Structure 1
Amino acid sequence: MARSYLYVPADRPAMLARALERGADAVIVDLEDAVAPDAKDAARQAAADWLARLTPGGPTEVWVRVNPGPTGLADAAAVVAPALHGLCLAKCESPADVVAVDQVVGEREAALGLTPGSVALSPLLESAGAVLAAPALAASPRVAHLQAGEADLRAELGMEPSPDERELLPLRVSLVLACAAARVGPPVGPVSTDYRDTGALRRSTTALRALGYRSRACIHPAQIPVVHEVFTPSEAELDAASELVNRFDAAVRDGHPVIVGADGRMVDEAVVRAARRTLAAGG
């Protein structure tokens, strides 16, 4: 599971050329906000050319953020390639938006001989209406996880978050719930626009992890080490999770579905499920 998603503008050739060398688990080639309106066509072609040169199955996931509406459908048709992991759907408002992209992607997969469904989708929720539609969006075709465009949401809602971002808690939890209910991956955490304040980034990312997030989008390579550290279980956490899972599995084999943990609390499958997730996150 990717821990970091690094945004890279599609119209910056030097940045695009080095995108896979920055240490992120995934990159998002941006055709939307990072690209000026009169540069959209050139950026789309640059992204398509770059993707066509990549070898599929590399260690870094490659995503492309496409524009909303008809422009986004043209983006999707152009960038589907064997090395593409998925598309981020900017300003996605409803399941109908996802279905439209799904159709275009399906046609391109067929034309290229790709496995049907190999390209995933990740809707970006950037309006109040989109957030309210989160459960339906998470359950839409190809959706791997959701993301929130919090800058746009703050502007629409007139929200002025305090330093601990507590005002954003309901929004962030709603995405976790929607993804869990749809049985897709946890949502990708929002970007932090001040890449120089690593302390604030660490506190915010730690809070996101406590809510159930397991990854975060980044706008600068300097943010990647902090994000990876927060979302990578420590050796102590891995050891404790392994010990708990082994003890529980042994007890179940002996006909005991509940054990007592080291802290004296009762442990059943629901508790052990979290330990298994910790082990999975540790690789």
Structure 2
Amino acid sequence: MSTATHAALALARTFLFVPADRPERHARALATGAGGVIVDLEDAVAPDRKVAAREQLRASFAALPAAERGRLLVRINAHGTPWHDSDRALVGELAAERLIAGVVLPKAERAADLHQLAADIGLKGLLVPLIESAAGLEAAGELAAAPQVLRLAFGNLDFQADLGLACDADEAELVPVRLALVLASRRAGLAAPIDGVTPDWRNAPRLAADAARARRGGFGAKLCIHPDQVAPVHAALGPSTDELAWARRVMEATRAAGGGVASLDGRMVDAPVVRLAERLLALDTQTAP
């Protein structure tokens, strides 16, 4: 996949799951305008359907427009499961044929697994490790630094199950976990991480609160489980009209100062302020669903 594809997925605000064994939904998922579509061979597919789901993916993806495949990722089954090795072989073939942009690895806990997967999918393939356990959190820095990793993602529900947590809707207990993933991403020079799902897709206030928390906490995207979640999450994680106006004024002031330190509304505009303005303007280039 191209550099432009990588850049688009690095700035994408929404990643929509779709079952691998429902090929009629793959094109529909892309049509939602989600920044990335994750075709799921793991949780969304029953054990007795995994082989059939895997075997039909190539035909499903080949039928899609080439430009759309740049938003496709496949979530394979976790390392240690009976399906992992066959899934790895498949995504290696799909990546070589440029039918997918990359792979989501669930239950990511060891950098060695990512190194192996990176070799399978080739240098142009992208990896998104899904942090879903205490072991994954402990290894977050190593996972973020593994080759071809584009972003970290948080599996908030599985993480709670792994630790035996019983979080309320605000998931206050997970604040330090989320911060750790943001810090690991920053240290590794990755794009902002992808926050976990809001399981009740009919609950618009809960979705809005979760997306707002993600943005406050430094996440740049969110996993979605239903098409109706895509547009509101995209809007919530993007810059507001006021923020964009401020960012444009910052850039104008910087240009007027010849690239040096400038002043805007009585406040100094230096390099960190300029970087924030540039990020806000870059986010605005993402097409709305």
The TM-score normalised by the length of structure 2 is 0.88
SS at match of 1:23: coil
Give per-residue Cα distances to partners, 1:236-274, cap 9 Å, x unaligned: 211111101220232244xxx433332x33331112211
2:88 corresponding residue in structure 1 = 73
CA distance in 2, matches of 1:143, 1:13: 27
Aligned runs of 1:33-182 on 2, under 5 Å?
33-58=43-68, 61-69=71-79, 70-80=85-95, 81-106=97-122, 117-182=123-188
| Letter in structure 2 aligned against 1:3 | R
On the 8 A contact 1:20/1:60 being kept in 2, the answer is no
Deviates more, 1:49-58 or 1:90-99: 49-58
CA distance in 2, matches of 1:68, 1:163: 27
Match of 2:4 in 1: none
Q: CA deviation at 1:33?
A: 0.6
2:272 to 270, 273, 282: 270
Q: Which runs of 5+ in 2 are unaligned?
A: 1-10, 80-84
TM-score, normalisation: structure 1 = 0.89
Match of 2:263 in 1: 260
Identity %: 40
How far apart are residue 144 of structure 1 and its match?
0.2
| SS state at 1:131 partner | helix
One-letter code aligned to 1:156: D
Going from structure 1 to structure 2, the CA distance change for 1:78 and 1:36 (only over 3 Å counts) comes to farther
Matches within 5 A, 1:220-231: 220-231=226-237
Aligned partners of 1:5 and 1:221: how far apart in 2?
A: 10
Q: In structure 1, what residue type is equivalent to 2:223?
A: A
In the comparison of the two structures, how many residue pairs are matched? Answer: 269
Aligned with 1:191: secondary structure? coil
Q: How much does 1:10 deviate?
A: 0.7
Please name the residue that 2:209 is paired with: 203
Paired with 1:34 and 1:218, the residues of 2 have a C-alpha distance of 13
Report if aligned partners of 1:57, 1:83 keep a CA contact under 8 Å in 2. Answer: no
* Aligned mates of 1:75, 1:33 — CA distance in 2: 18
Whole-Å separation in 1 of the counterparts to 2:195 and 2:120: 27
Secondary structure of 2:72 counterpart: strand
Q: Contact 2:156–2:196 at 8 Å: present in 1 too?
A: yes
Aligned-pair RMSD on alpha carbons? Answer: 1.7
